[in-house]
Structure 1
Amino acid sequence: MAVSKPGTPVKPSAVFRFLFAIGLLAVALGMTLLVMSLKERAFLPAGAAALLLGVILVGSYLTDRLHAEVYVDPLAFEPPWSKLARGAGPPRLPAPGKLAVAPGTAFALDKLVDFPAAATAGRPAPSTQAARSVPAPAPVAQTSWTPALFDQVSAQQFDAMCEALFAQGGFEIRGQSHGTAGGVTLWLYSRHAQQGKDSPAAVAWCKQWSGQPVGVRELHPLLDLMHSHQLKRGTCATSSVCSENARKFAKDNGINLLDRAGLLALIAGRNPAQQQALLALALGKR
């Protein structure tokens, strides 16, 4: 008889497999005879004997299978509790009142966490020192009129600047605000007129229209005001640009268009004190 090597499971023999097949047949035959004995009592002893024989044979095979899982060399098999006893099993919690790690145990935390380099005492970090050594640029004060200045002017500041600009031209101004949307209608009265002092000499329609060109549609309200007051002159002042159709429409209807370039040219004709006064209004400085 060949002896299995330690650590190898024993295979069930062919005899047990043959007996297992006979046992299954005996169990089936016994169950059939027991069912038949419900009508014919003569089948009851034979059915019980066949079922008992089948149970014995099947049980023998199952027992052989269980032995197949056991190693021939008992030392080759080690139960889990034995590994725990000799400390080879999974880690266990420390006993109550005891430390899991002995005091003074060094941990390589720098390998686990990327800590920033500590700055030397009394000396700021290089980045902080460099930031402090370079002063922030001071805001440049606006001292003259430029096209880019109109991009910094709010709607209310633009209205106030336009009102002062026409007042510097010798007109008496009566303004009518358009509300929160921005824009103002300026009625221009001549200070030197001997007759018709209560009738405006012209009307000005002032609005920024930021981000969009001024077209013919934007000029129609101004033309309606001119017709309703029988005025032959009107002015449209804007910090935007005007389309070619708007320029042709304005020329045919007695409207003076003052876009960004036109306003800068008109402001340049004022004296330095007046220019600075307009600049202060545009920047919100009183």
Structure 2
Amino acid sequence: MHIMYRKPTELPPAGMLLGKGVAATALGTTLLGAAALLAPSTHPLLHAAAGSLRVLAPYALACGAAALITWLVLRPIRPAATATSDPQAPASHWSEPLFQQLTPQGFTAICGELFAQPGRRIRVERIDAESADLWLHPADAMRPVELIQCRQWAGHLAGVKELRELQGAMVSRDVARGTFVTTSGFTADARRFARAHGIALVDVHDLLALVERRSPAQQCDLVAFAWTAR
């Protein structure tokens, strides 16, 4: 025996319900208005028409109300905007944690901007994901005159070992000036070693201070530059 199944009744889209509800409500209101205009007439046909309109108007208004109520129930609800920001969104102003959040390329690029000197060009030598060396050359010379080692470290204090490596690189290239830059800090022994050997130390506090020497507009430009550096 073949059994016939009836397809479930589908409700019309919410937008269609809104249109039908408005139309039915408008029709019911129009019918009531027409009935009110015809009611005073003494002509039998017009008087009868007014009575018919008064009977039909409530049905139209009821249908309109039902459609509008259904639309209110079925209409899509737009999620309310939340006050919390995307935790993955890039920061828009400078702070000490921002130096650690930058990509390695972004951190290196910012160091190049902060330590750039007139008449000097910078050659970048990438060491690893957290480290890069910036060699400063006179514009028309091949031999560098300064080495800036940039280390994007979190929680690892630079010690004497790292400064000896900087000193060794300076001696091998006959470079007189050296600077060690880190997003963390330095041990007390490292600071004593740097003072004894003329090495400049720049920690995350110093980096932020270098940025804050610039105008607010320049700081905004640096943020954009850092996030887009490749």
TM-score range, shorter-chain basis?
0.5 to 0.7
Q: Give the AA of the match of 1:135.
A: T
CA shift, 1:272, in A, is: 4.2
Structure 1: segments with no counterpart, 5+ residues: 1-120
Of Structure 1 and Structure 2, the greater strand share is in 2
Following superposition, the deviation at residue 270 of structure 1 comes to: 3.2
Select the residue among 97, 108, 112 that pairs with 1:159.
108
1:146 has 2:90 as partner: no
The corresponding residue for 1:216 is 160
Q: RMSD over aligned Cα, in angstroms?
A: 3.0
**Paired-residue identity, %:** 36
TM-superposed CA distance for 1:224, in Å, is 0.4
Bigger Rg, which one: 1
- 1:238-253 correspondence to structure 2 within 5 Å: 238-253=182-197
Residues 236/144 of structure 1: CA separation in 2 closer, same or farther (3 Å cut): same
Structure 1 pair 189–276 and aligned structure 2 pair: CA distance change class (3 A)? farther
Query: 1:223 offset after TM fit, Å?
Result: 0.6
Structure 2 SS opposite 1:237: strand
Maintained 8 Å contact 1:156/1:182: no
Residues 1:135 and 2:82 are matched in the alignment: yes
CA 1:183–1:277 in structure 2 vs 1: closer, same or farther (change >3 Å)? farther
Q: Is the 8 A contact 2:124 2:132 kept in 1?
A: yes
C-alpha separation in 2, matches of 1:218 and 1:123 = 68
Aligned length: 157
1:281 deviation in Å? 3.1
What displacement does 1:231 show? 2.2
Deviations 1:171-196 (A, max 9, x none): 310111114x33111111234xxxx8
CA distance in 1, matches of 2:142, 2:223: 31
Q: Residues 174-193 of structure 1: matches in 2 within 5 Å?
A: 174-179=123-128, 181-191=129-139
TM-score (norm 1): 0.48
Which of these residues, 175, 179, 191, is aligned with residue 235 of structure 1? Answer: 179
1:135: how far off?
2.9
In structure 1, the partner of 2:44 is none
Residues 105, 229 of structure 2: 8 Å contact kept: no
Q: Of 267, 273, 282, which residue of structure 1 is paired with 2:211?
A: 267
1:254 aligns with 2:195: no
Contact 1:219–1:246 (CA under 8 A) maintained in structure 2: yes
Q: Is the 8 A contact 2:100 2:152 kept in 1?
A: no
